[in-house]
Structure 1
């Protein structure tokens, strides 16, 4: 029996090489076996030339990292457990006590919580700038500013900023720029090649992506990525990544690898349905404003058109409406509760449509001049028939009529 147990652990069989299939194999490991002490001492994981420990990568995670670089146009990629972890990794890598970070006032809420909580406690200050006013961004950059966050489109209110002008300001002031590219997903525009005809091409320094959304596509995986082109910046991020012990499960990596081939098709389907619903919503009297970058008159529409109009899809699957201010918060909640196909839930990018009401006056430093007064409701359009989704919103509007 003792010999049997040993043989089961140290079995001599090795499968033959040369196996190839549409999906790459799933290699899960904490321990990686070395053939010799010399190999153990000489292997290097930082350049992906070898494997040393499961936390630093396996053939499966290397595959996803390389494919994501192709998707977004970067050269180096790191995987982390969530989109928020990607944001935190950037902050912990490039900011030190005494530094300052600037964020758009429409930034992703947990990013604001991070700077107002942990970063502030560590002596890192922050300021919020008007996402629709590049001059406000420029005015707030100081000698202490080490990082500028950008979002396109803005979280919840979906304004599309003048990314080109903002990036030129960051380059001129020699401040690192980091873009939350979850909405664009590498499909609406290329974050490292916003103006590819320029030499060098105008692009961000860092792109983070919540792979939880469109790359996963199933609403069942949490993961994030941090992508760069600069080798020195990538190594700075990679060493912080290593020191924090950030890792992802290979079964989750497998799920995203399986979904990536259909991502562009799904993104386009979400986009087309969201545009159809947003245009229809713009005709409903209960909605005093519809926020969607592809709709003329929506904040930043011309900036979106400049960068995204020729892309695959180009506008994601989100749109928001501002319910007329005459409706109370309870009435807005009743409207959301009355929806049947749109389920109440956070996140987006999956097959099921979602809805969330927001109290915008608690999310912004000031009420933006480009937004009407009312209650904000954000719709994430899934893959259901668009006629059914429109009917769902129509029947829910009855509670307001």
Structure 2
């Protein structure tokens, strides 16, 4: 059949061979996926391991990254979402209904708490808060459906009693979901941890952080070993029209090979800074799971085996320093940039008022304002000099 040149631009009569072996897998950009024939169209089901039916359901590019993330975390089934928060929201919307009870740690990621409070107001779920290092504060009723875990916790970095919390949740038939962004699948295996080889039911992971590594791509994942849970999540994923960009997916896939090297380098720098920060009189507390004085340190040793600790460290300033002093300190930093997130090449700093973030009383936290350092790939001695200079500037401005 002879066709017009315009048509030949769309239905090219000649195509290069489609498959070669390359270091990076091919990139597939797709909304529409072409079926070879009607058998291929009708002899398929959305529960197939690789259901190539529409771009939102998956392409070789998204399945490749998802498979790698699931393997990294010790899981089997995966879903990709546009951000870490989107992955969290997928879990909440999938498993929580009117009247259900959800338990969250007092150091939970702030946007997750905000989302749950919104669900509480609009849809009648019940949000309960527990102390992550005291399993006795987790007192579920028969309405409890979901327990959120963070290891380590947001901002104050307490490492939870994962063993005690998971065992208690299992005894009450409560789903456990772990925000695994800090551990990133490298600090411990969330699906096989501790001497009793315990497992959470679901992990979520902000791939924006360590897997991306560039501070420039947003994405999240949901991983499980349970096929039934996966199918429930997959249906909600499809109903909500959740999808990710093939280009973004390929970029994160490209970064995975260096992820462990970057993670360990940033973790080592954080340990160096931790030890130096403890010597500075401006700080009354340095928070880091690997520090023996930090809350949950023994739980960290139990689960992470003294090996991994990510690249975050927080400090509590002496109470004599007010908010303006802390702002002056942050503004005086040169290498540390003021911004949210972590895991990229540039070190970040953020200031917090814990009185506005915590609903429970915590004896292990000193009074004062907190600053979190997220360590990048700069030389640690340069970062120390940057903090040292900023402290001097802050103290000088306070005198003036």
Q: 1: distance between equivalents of 2:240 and 2:393?
A: 50
Structure 2 residues not aligned, in runs of 5+: 396-400
Paired position in structure 2 for 1:345: 339
Paired position in structure 1 for 2:256: 260
Structure 1 residues not aligned, in runs of 5+: none
Paired position in structure 2 for 1:154: 153
Counterpart secondary structure, 1:374: coil
Paired position in structure 1 for 2:387: 393
Tell whether the 8 Å contact from 2:131 to 2:360 is kept in structure 1 after alignment. no
Q: 2: distance between equivalents of 1:40 and 1:119?
A: 41
Runs of 4+ in 1 over 6 A off after TM superposition: none
| Offset, 1:47 | 2.2
Q: Could you report, residue by residue, the CA deviation over 1:214-267 in whole angstroms, capped at 9, with x for unpaired residues?
A: 000000000000000010011001100000000000000001100001000000
Counterpart secondary structure, 1:14: coil
Q: 2: distance between equivalents of 1:326 and 1:142?
A: 43
| Offset, 1:39 | 1.7
TM-score scaled to structure 1, two decimals?
0.96
Matched ranges for 1:1-400 at <5 A: 3-137=4-138, 139=139, 141-195=140-194, 198=196, 201-309=197-305, 311=307, 314-400=308-394
Counterpart secondary structure, 2:4: helix
| Offset, 1:43 | 2.3
Q: 1: distance between equivalents of 2:71 and 2:85?
A: 22
Tell whether the 8 Å contact from 2:135 to 2:161 is kept in structure 1 after alignment. yes
Aligned length: 394
| Offset, 1:307 | 1.2
Tell whether the 8 Å contact from 1:318 to 1:378 is kept in structure 2 after alignment. yes
Q: 1: distance between equivalents of 2:91 and 2:51?
A: 25
Q: 1: distance between equivalents of 2:51 and 2:14?
A: 23
Q: 2: distance between equivalents of 1:237 and 1:258?
A: 26
Tell whether the 8 Å contact from 1:215 to 1:263 is kept in structure 2 after alignment. yes
Q: Could you report, residue by residue, the CA deviation over 1:115-138 in whole angstroms, capped at 9, with x for unpaired residues?
A: 11134311111111111110111x
Counterpart secondary structure, 2:42: helix
Tell whether the 8 Å contact from 1:44 to 1:52 is kept in structure 2 after alignment. no
| Offset, 1:40 | 1.1
| Offset, 1:4 | 0.7
TM-score scaled to structure 2, two decimals?
0.96
User: What is the RMSD computed on CA atoms of the aligned residues?
Assistant: 1.3
Q: 2: distance between equivalents of 1:29 and 1:119?
A: 37
Q: 2: distance between equivalents of 1:12 and 1:120?
A: 58
